[in-house]
Every structure is written in C-alpha cells, then in structure tokens.
Homo-oligomer: A and B are copies of this chain.
Amino acid sequence: MEQSYRSTISIYKNILEQFNPALENLVYLGNNYLRTFHALSKAAEVYFKAIQKIGEQALQSSTSQMLGQILIQMSDTHRHMNSDLEVVAQTFHKDLLQHIEKNTKLDMQFIKENVRRLQSEMQAFVSESQRAAALEEKRRYRFLAEKHQLLSSTFLQVYSRACGIIQSKVPKWKEQLEASRNPSSRH
C-alpha cells in the first residue's frame, strides 16, 4: 500500500512539475510561432500588392497588356492562398493555444487539491486514487494529441485548397507566357 501511495503521488507530481510546465512553455512557443505566422502573412500581402501595381503599369503599356493581366492574376492567387493560411493561424490560436493555456491553469489548482486530499485521506483511497491518477495523466496527453490532430486537419484542408487554387493556373500561365514570346503577338 505504501508503494501504491508513493506511485500515486509521483504521477501527480509528474503532472504538476513536468507536464504542466511543459504545456506553459508550449503556449509561449506557440504564441511566438503565431507571431511569425502573422508577420509572414503581412509581408506576403505587401509583396504581392507590389506585383499587382507593376501588373497595372503593364496594362498601360502598348505591348504588355497580357503580361500585366498574368501578373495581376498571380498576385490575386497568391494573396488568396495567403489569406487562406490565416485559417490555420486561427485554429492554432483559438482551438489549441487558448484551450491549453486555460486548462493548464485550472489543472494546477485541481492537482494541488487532489494531492492535498490524498495526503489527508491516505489509507482509504490509495488504490482507487492510483487508477484515477493514471487516468488523469492519460487524459492530459490525449487532450494535447487531439488538439494537434485538429491542427493537422486544418493544415490538410488549407494545403488541399491551395493545391486546388494553384494547380489549374500554373500550366495556363506557362502556356500564356510561351504564347507571349511569339513575335506576331503584340499583347
């Protein structure tokens, strides 16, 4: 019974001293990840806006209207794919980081209370408590895995959509660019 009690306390101690601090660190790293995500999104938007402006200049020229149209289409397509990536950032922020942060705070309290209760009522609850502690541990790892499974699904959706957006366009642009090499084509 003594060993069972020590094992129970050690599982809770592990959740308290290793698992939860690791989650707090994860939330911190995740917020950094999110910041770089938004910075990338903004830089891409500014870059493709500049491509659009050059495309609009080409529309004013005597020879390069079609190239202008292609540049504007490229800018639109990449800006569209880029704003789609924001879906991943939102999932990551709302469905993952915020939940983890909230749960971790509540969990610290919960575990501390459990350990306090356990220490005062040691004999009666030892074996049941060990099972409960092990299940609590498993529940926490599952929570983390499930949240990341959701994130992976969102990545899959966004990448699939990006493929769909771009794959019909690339060969068409290539063809149009080749056609624009033809000296008889003035546009």
Binding site for B on A (CB under 8 A): 11, 14, 18-19, 22-23, 25-26, 29-30, 32-33, 35-37, 39-40, 42-44, 46-47, 50-51, 53-54, 57-58, 61-64, 67-68, 70-71, 74, 77-78, 81, 134-135, 137-138, 141-142, 144-146, 148-149, 152-153, 155-156, 159-160, 162-163, 166-167, 169-170, 173-174, 177, 180-181
Q: Is the CB of A63 within 8 A of B138?
A: yes
Q: Is the CB of A44 within 8 A of B33?
A: yes
- Specify how many copies of this chain sit in the oligomer: 2
Mostly, the A contact residues are helix
CB proximity of A10 to chain B, nearest CB, Å: 10
